Structure 1
Amino acid sequence: MSPLTALLAFGAGLVVAVVTTPVGVSGAVFLLPVQFDLLRVPSPAVTPTNLLYNVVATPGALLRHHRTGALGGPLTRRLVAGTLPGVVVGTLVRVFLAPGDRVFRVLAAALLLGIGIWLCLRIRDRPAPPRELRGPVVTGLGAVVGVVGGIYGIGGGSLLGPILVGTGMSVATVAPAALAATFLTSVAGVATYGLLSLVVDWPVGPDWITGLCCGAGGLIGGYLGARLQPRVPETALRTLLGVLAIGLAVTYLVQAARG
């Protein structure tokens, strides 16, 4: 990797993390076009590379949330209980069954587009009282997102955040839990891909240099984004999350159309 490419990877990780961390999204999924088109990371290596970005990038935001006392709680524990086994299953599916990305991207786009538009339309409404999701429901949601994360290289915050906020939870509650689940899920995913690379004949490991460069930028950006969160009104955070969900849906649709 040339110095210019490394700087591009660092800058992309920094910018994405600053924008997405306040709403509990690591931003790895928004790096997919950068990795494919600019950094030339091939598939399926882009999946563990994205997870590696999460491993390096999210501790900055988690440290900030820990210092403010926002990290932890039952929501985090329930999500992690589902995402950890889920990502292992997803990794095995990706390596041995290698499903196509198109169907997932179209379905995820439909889900995120609907949630994003709904969040944006509710900006002027009074916040609805949060729905009390039962523990098994949250854990089951985490498991599904973990499987998706293992297959497609996303930590899950981009899906968990809009869904949980859509139930009425505050962004301040959801963001630390979603980022913690993203981090632990990504650690398990990278470890699983690493172990599988020792027993299969085709390359399934991450592009370490790209992942570390993007992650270094994300580490700084994530800390800055977490510092910004308490200073941004809840309405603005919900608007940002809705816009990000719509933008991600459009990104998925474009990628699906390109095949």
Structure 2
Amino acid sequence: MPDHKQLMQDICAVMRECGDIMLSTDFKERQEATSSKEGRHNLVTLYDSMIQDKLKDALSRIFPQALFYGEENGDRDDISKGYAFVVDPIDGTSNFIKGLMRSCISVGMTLDAIPMMGIIYDPYRDHFYTAIKGEGAFLNGSPIHVNRDSLENGIVTIGTAPYNKELTEESFALYKKFFGKCIDIRRFGSAALDMCDVAAGRTCLYAEPIIEPYDICAGVVIVEEAGGVVTDLNGEPVSMLKKSSIMADNGLCRDC
């Protein structure tokens, strides 16, 4: 395997180029490039595919031995064995389309389906969140840590599973439970950045009833290396081989 730090440096350089693609678009271009994948809530743009293709090509050159699992284009190797990149080219696509500036690029790396490295790039703020298992978590090179807030003193972020309407009642019952105990709840629309907020100590907990591996792979490493805890809603490890629920927190807020 290549040197961890050199590998991360090379990946960050490519992700910055991908962020420039996102920043170069205007509202009309994003609207014209948008289509629906599975119902009106699950949107995709030509930029999602363009960025994933760019990442796949670059990552295959940076680390040829690694497999690839991405959100778009059917690029989904069996990542149960060996090294693999798990990629979301634009996490928060609806935000990207509407110009809400809450979207990011997420690249995780797994070994035998266990997250080992995470890089999340927010091009709007030029924020790189990075972590290598066992080496801590960082924002633009400075260490980050989860906060020590209790649920009563913290803000919770949520995902509402808009693609899975059968979970609507269950979802809002969970959020109502949090709402009665925390300062307030936020719904920002990017799972990866919600996890970064937990890691950086801005929020105390993020939860969602169902999520894809590419949405959370990088964030798992970043939260855990920042001192947080990531499980599914039943307290079990999240899977990189299938959809899962998720709860990421500072370790103090899950017993609500």
TM-score range, shorter chain: under 0.3
TM-score (norm 1): 0.24
Q: Comparing both structures, which one devotes a greater share of its residues to helix?
A: 1
Q: Comparing both structures, which one devotes a greater share of its residues to strand?
A: 2
TM-score (norm 2): 0.25
